[in-house]
Amino acid sequence: MSNSFAPINSSSYSGPSQKKRVAYFYDSDVGNYAYVAGHPMKPHRIRLAHSLIMNYGTYHLMEIYRAKPATRHEMTQFHTDEYIDFLQKVTPDNMDSFSKEQLKYNVGDDCPVFDGLFEFCGISAGGSMEGAARINRGKCDIAVNWAGGLHHAKKSEASGFCYVNDIVLGIIELLRFKKRVLYIDIDVHHGDGVEEAFYTTDRVMTVSFHKYGEYFPGTGELRDIGVGQGKNYSVNFPLRDGIDDVTYKSIFEPVIENVMKYYQPEAIVLQCGGDSLSGDRLGCFNLSMRGHANCVKFVKSFNVPTLVLGGGGYTMRNVARTWAFETGVLVGQELSSTLPYNEYYEYYGPDYELDVRASNMENANSKEYLKKITDQVIENLKKTTFAPSVQLTEVPRTTILGGTEEDENIANDMDEDENKDVRTTKRQFDARVSRDDEFEESGDEREAFAAYGIHRQTGANKRRNIMDHKNSSSRIMEAQADNSKSSQGLSHNATNTAKGDSVPETVTSN
C-alpha cells in the first residue's frame, strides 16, 4: 500500500479551514429493503455507514434530514411514464403477469423485482433531489446522500442494479439554478446512464474514471466525448486492473484541475462508488480507503457547492467504513482509527479499525498508457471553455415543479392535509421477518447477526418543498433514536417537525 497518504486522523483530510455547511440525508427505512437472496447489492450497507457516522459523533457537525421519497411525477422528469408506472405496479406476487414488460425494461436477473422496489427508488431519488434543492437555495455547501449514486439506470430501462437514476434527477434540479454542472464518477464501472442523459448538452460535463475492456457496462471509451452541442463535454478515462492510490491520484488531480479550469462549473455532483476499493466483491481496482477519500478531499478543496452520492460497493464493511470516513472529510472531523462500538461491530473483525488497506494486486496501468490518456483528455478540455451556449441565457428560477415558490408552498400545504407521509410503525416492523440469509456476505464475511424486516413503505404523494427546514435539535434526536437501541438498550420515537414536513411520522429504532 502506498505511504503517500497521511495517517487516518491527519488534518490533511480535514481541518477548521475546510469546514463546510453539510446537509446529510438518511432514511432509516432504506436498510429494510433487499433485492433477492444472494444478490450483491445490499441496501443494508447504508445503515452500517450511518451507524458509524452516528457513533463517531459526526452528526454534531452537520444537519440531518429525512427526505420525502421522490414521487412518480418527480421521477418522470427524466424517466418515461410507462417505465415508472411499471416500477410502481410490479411486485414479486404479480411479476409473472408483467413478463413482457420485464423484458422490455431489462428487469430480471441483475435488476430483480423485489418487495418495496418503487419505495426504495423513491428514497434514493428523494435524498438526491432534496440535496440538490438545498444547494440551489444556498442552505448548504455540501449535501450527502449515500443512498444515491445509482448511475446505470436509463430513461426507460433498469441496468446494473439501478432502476431510477437519482443522479440525473438531482442534476436536473441543479440546472434550474446553475448554468453548468460537473458530474464526477469514481465508481469502478462507467457512469453510462448519466453520460447518456447529458450526451448532447454543454450544460453538464460528465467525467468518469472506470475499468474498461470486457467489463460491465462495456462503454466509456476515450473517444466517447459527446455529440452536437455536447461535444467534448463527456470525459472518459478508461483504466485497467489494479490501479493503486498513487497512480489514481496522479491522473485524478490533473484531470479534475483542468476540468475546473476550463469548464468552471457552478455545482458539482460527486459519485463515490465503493466498488473501486481494494477487495471489493465485484471490483478490480486497488484503492485504499484513504486513496478513495483523497478524491473527495480534492473535489472539496475547490469550494464549489457539491452533491456527494454513494454508488456501487459490494463488500459491505469496506463501503461503510469508507463512506463514514469520507463524511468526516466533508465536515472536517478527524476520526479515530479505532472503531467505536456500534450495533454492527462484529462486521469489522478481526482488526476493528477504520481502514481499508490496499493489497499486493498488480497494477496493469503503465505510466505511458496513463500519460497518453491524460494528455488527450486535457487536449479535449481545452475546446470546452465555459459552456458558451448558456453564457447569454438567463436560467429560470423556478421551483422543482415549475411556477413560483409561493405556488409551491401553497401546493405543499394542501398536500399535507390530503396525502399523509405514512411510515412503518414499530408493531408493523417487528411483525415482518426476513430470510436468515438476507444480509449474508460472501464466504469471507461474517453472517449478519441481525435480521431486518422487508416491507412496503407507503411514502407520500407530495410535492417537494425546497425551502423546507427541519429543527436542528429534532434532526439530531431523530438520528440518535435510530442508532441508540442496540448500544444503550433504549428505543425512542421522534416526530418530524420540519416546517414543510409537519405530518407526523413514526421513527423506529433499528
187 assigned to a ligand binding site: yes
DSSP state of 338: B
DSSP-derived 3-state class of residue 207: strand
* Per-residue cell: 470: 427541519
Identify whether 44 is a catalytic site residue: no
Q: Dihedral sign, CA of 38, 43, 47, 50?
A: positive
Q: Beginning with the edge strand found earlier in the chain, give each strand of the sheet holding 267-271 in spatial order.
A: 63-65, 22-25, 142-145, 306-309, 267-271, 181-185, 204-211, 234-239
8 A C-beta contact, residue 423 and residue 507:
yes
259: phi then psi, degrees, rounded to nearest 5: -60, -45
Distance CA(321)–CA(468), nearest Å, equals 31
3-class secondary structure per residue, 248-293: HHHHHHHHHHHHHHHHCCCEEEEECCHHHECCCCCCCCCECHHHHH
144: phi then psi, degrees, rounded to nearest 5: -120, 130
59 assigned to a ligand binding site: no
8 A C-beta contact, residue 296 and residue 326:
yes
Q: Which of 44, 151, 152, 190 is catalytic?
A: 152
Distance CA(386)–CA(370), nearest Å, equals 26
* Closest CA relative to residue 38, chosen from 109, 123, 120, 94: 109
The dihedral region occupied by 147, where left means phi > 0, alpha psi between -120 and 50, and beta the remainder, is alpha
29 assigned to a ligand binding site: no
* Per-residue cell: 35: 433485492
202 assigned to a ligand binding site: no
Q: How far is CA 112 from CA 76, 102, 103, 155, 310, in A?
A: 21, 9, 11, 18, 20
Distance CA(180)–CA(187), nearest Å, equals 22
Max distance between CA atoms of the chain, in angstroms, equals 63
DSSP-derived 3-state class of residue 118: helix
116 assigned to a ligand binding site: no
| Tally of CB atoms within 10 A around 238 | 21
275 assigned to a ligand binding site: yes
Residue with grid cell 421513527, as numbered in its chain: 507
DSSP-derived 3-state class of residue 137: coil
- Bind-site residues for substrate: 110, 160, 314
- Bind-site residues: 110, 160, 187, 189, 275, 314
- Bind-site residues for a divalent metal cation: 187, 189, 275
- Active-site amino acid positions: 152
